[in-house]
Structure 1
Amino acid sequence: MTTNLSRRPGPGQIRRRSVAVAAATAVTVDTPAEPGRPIVVSTRDANVDLATWLGDNRDQLRALLHDRGAVLFQGFGVSGAEELERLVLAVSPEAMNYVYGSTPRSREMRQVYTSTEYPADQTIPQHNELAYARNWPMRLWFLSHRAAETGGATPVADSRRVYERIPAEVRDRFAEQGVMYLRNYGAGLDLSWQQTFETEDPAEVERFCAESGIEYTWLPDGRLRTTQVAQGVVRHPVTGETCWFNQAHLFHTSSLPAEVRGTLLDSLDPLDLPRNALYGDGTPIEDEVIAGIHAAFEAETVAEPWRDGDVMLIDNVLVSHGRQPYTGPRKVLVAMAEPGSADLPGASGR
């Protein structure tokens, strides 16, 4: 079953409504008519301090975020990791680490990281951060420290609308069973466990796994294998809306280039694959199901080009994100905040 979502306006139909938030601060809010596009908060006054505005308008910011799931700030001249951290702390008690991450990043300072460091010619598909885990950040902050010459946008997709596009029988199975994630770390095929868990101490890894419901096995060559069953869908703890929330489409072997997948499947035991995603009961997810998930994300993805100093705040449950290929130097910083989990009241999608 495919849900008809023909609500998108056609060419020339997109309109923006501009509402003054506070004339004294010369800050305006633009809400695009096209579904899924981030709300834009902007100023032309170089004296407006974004951290101060955020602190003074927490309730309004929360309302904007729960409406569209993403808010783009422009014209505030934000630059550098320290300024990004200051924005995070203006509205959240603390930033979070990227422990149990699945992509390469560099730490800029404390809990501020670079965005995923994949080659510039590659697309990073839509995903909700740490949706393969049972705990995740509810808020993601992105700062365009240096915009690319071409491309390099951070597209977003509304997880509520993605959920609606996926056939009911697939949604129901993911909601009931969740997703089992298999990971084998290191050996030149994936991040090492030291990178993933941000420690050199195996005891720290074991402690984290025990607290997070992750099963682990130390292999004879010192490598690590983990499996974890996590949620397939989540009900937002504030809005109550059901959202597609997992990374099965990124971990599943069908998402690899055909020649890479063939080589891995021919040379490795299924348990030794760098990554794979299965239904929560351990049975394989069909390739056509994963293809349908990719198609649902693609249909809902929208992108705004970065400019130097732009900041985007997203609700990590309501909205997924990705990265377009790019040319020229590009640097986007990321900070995560406000822990969430399917154990929060109202959050479980089952």
Structure 2
Amino acid sequence: MQFQRQQFSLKDVKPRTIDIAGDIIEKIPGFPVIYKPAMDGISLKSWLAGHQEEVNEDLNVHGAILFRGFDVPDRNAFQDVMGAFNEEFLSYKDRSSPRTEVKENLYTSTEHPADQVINMHNELSYSHTWPLRIAFYCSQEPSEKGETPVADVRKVLQRLPEKLVSVFKEKGILYRRLLQKGVGLSWQEVFQTENRTVVEQHCRAYGQEFSWTGNDRLEIRWQRPAVRTHPVTGEEIWFNHGYFFNFGALAPEIRAAFSSSDELPFNTYYGDGSPIEAEYLELIHAAYEEECVYFPWKRKDILLMDNMLVAHGRNSFKGPREINVIMMKPIRQ
């Protein structure tokens, strides 16, 4: 018996489009939402390029996404992955903390001593330019603690007493900084220039009062809102450095090192210059603490956040720790 073999040609194969997004990425609900690869060999950059709408929706709803288990081997690869969003990267000017620029627009996280806790804050909320998106990458996880706690500032606002919120809405916040070498940051470090004229032009452009004092010191003052409306979701948010920069938020041993609050590298007041009550500072701190969520870092983790919806901080730690930062999608107001 003779069998007839059916002739086969690649020309006869009809292309099919298969949506396997749900199969290759596992999404774990929570805060932050966790995205994990369901199989090996997934390019996070390629996946992100095709799923912007989904990622943006999760950021608008939840505020933070943790990408865990993807093959992002180093900080250069991290910067390449973030390029998938095709958003403007933000350079770190108007600085408030020491950092190293690893390469253009790629930074280390704040380089305060390991035994110090960094209070909750939204990046650059005191400034006239801040990132809507901020991403952290774990180059090296510490041996103990060192988490980056996160808190939804919509919920922080809801926890604050109505009377407190009303006062801050009415008066806003007055920020004062004394920029000098050896205590905090110098004006050269903050503004990334050696040119006083450039600094003065910046201050005038953004309505900041400034005065040069002896020993190459610069004092600046400016007002900003305490509560803002999110530009995408339309929700009210607690968005300021009012607690973070306040004298009362400093550790007692640091406060004791200054003979006068006028010598502090930064401080905050109500917008009219009156002091913020200690009771209100305690309530703000408590609201942050109640909303804080901690998770341990794992090497190659990427934490992507809506910087206006979610505040972050840093726990103390032991062992080497390197977290890298990219800021994206600047808002200028």
TM-score scaled by length of structure 1: 0.86
Deviations 1:200-245 (A, max 9, x none): 2222222222233322211122111111111101111111111111
Deviations 1:150-206 (A, max 9, x none): 111111000000000111111112122211110001242211111111122222222
Q: Distance in 1 between matches of 2:65 and 2:309?
A: 12
Please tell me whether residue 125 in structure 1 is matched to residue 124 in structure 2. Answer: no
Q: 1:307 to 1:263 in 2, by over 3 A?
A: closer
Contact 1:77 1:310 in 2 (8 A): no
Equivalence for 2:11: none
- Match for 1:290 among 281, 300, 305? 281
3-state SS of the aligned residue for 2:203? helix
- Aligned pairs (5 A) from 1:58-69: 58-69=52-63
Q: Distance in 1 between matches of 2:126 and 2:174?
A: 8
2:254 alignment partner AA:
V
- Match for 1:314 among 296, 305, 309? 305
Q: How many residues align?
A: 315
Contact 2:157 2:238 in 1 (8 A): yes
Does 213-222 or 227-236 show the bigger shift? 213-222
3-state SS of the aligned residue for 2:244? helix
Q: Distance in 1 between matches of 2:58 and 2:38?
A: 20
- Aligned pairs (5 A) from 1:78-117: 78-117=72-111
Contact 1:66 1:239 in 2 (8 A): yes
State the shift of 1:79 in Å: 3.0
Q: Distance in 2 between matches of 1:205 and 1:79?
A: 39
3-state SS of the aligned residue for 2:83? helix
2:316 alignment partner AA:
P
Contact 1:179 1:280 in 2 (8 A): yes
Contact 2:180 2:216 in 1 (8 A): no
Contact 1:21 1:28 in 2 (8 A): no
Unaligned runs of 5+ in 1: 1-19, 344-350
2:193 alignment partner AA:
T
Contact 1:150 1:328 in 2 (8 A): yes
Equivalence for 1:144: 138
- Match for 1:251 among 233, 245, 250? 245
Equivalence for 2:163: 169
3-state SS of the aligned residue for 2:29? strand
Q: Distance in 1 between matches of 2:276 and 2:245?
A: 11
Does 64-73 or 251-260 show the bigger shift? 251-260
Could you say what the CA RMSD is over the residues aligned between the two structures, in angstroms? 1.6
Please tell me whether residue 27 in structure 1 is matched to residue 18 in structure 2. Answer: no
Q: Distance in 1 between matches of 2:317 and 2:214?
A: 41
Contact 1:252 1:275 in 2 (8 A): yes
1:309 alignment partner AA:
K
3-state SS of the aligned residue for 1:205? helix
Q: 1:164 to 1:331 in 2, by over 3 A?
A: same
Please tell me whether residue 183 in structure 1 is matched to residue 174 in structure 2. Answer: no
Q: Distance in 1 between matches of 2:191 and 2:101?
A: 13
Unaligned runs of 5+ in 2: 1-18
- Match for 2:35 among 36, 41, 45? 41
Name the larger-Rg structure. 2
State the shift of 1:263 in Å: 4.4
State the shift of 1:135 in Å: 2.1
Q: Distance in 2 between matches of 1:40 and 1:198?
A: 36
Equivalence for 2:324: 333
1:27 alignment partner AA:
I
Does 46-55 or 114-123 show the bigger shift? 46-55
Contact 1:44 1:75 in 2 (8 A): no
Q: 1:240 to 1:118 in 2, by over 3 A?
A: same
Deviations 1:68-102 (A, max 9, x none): 10000011121333222222221142210110110
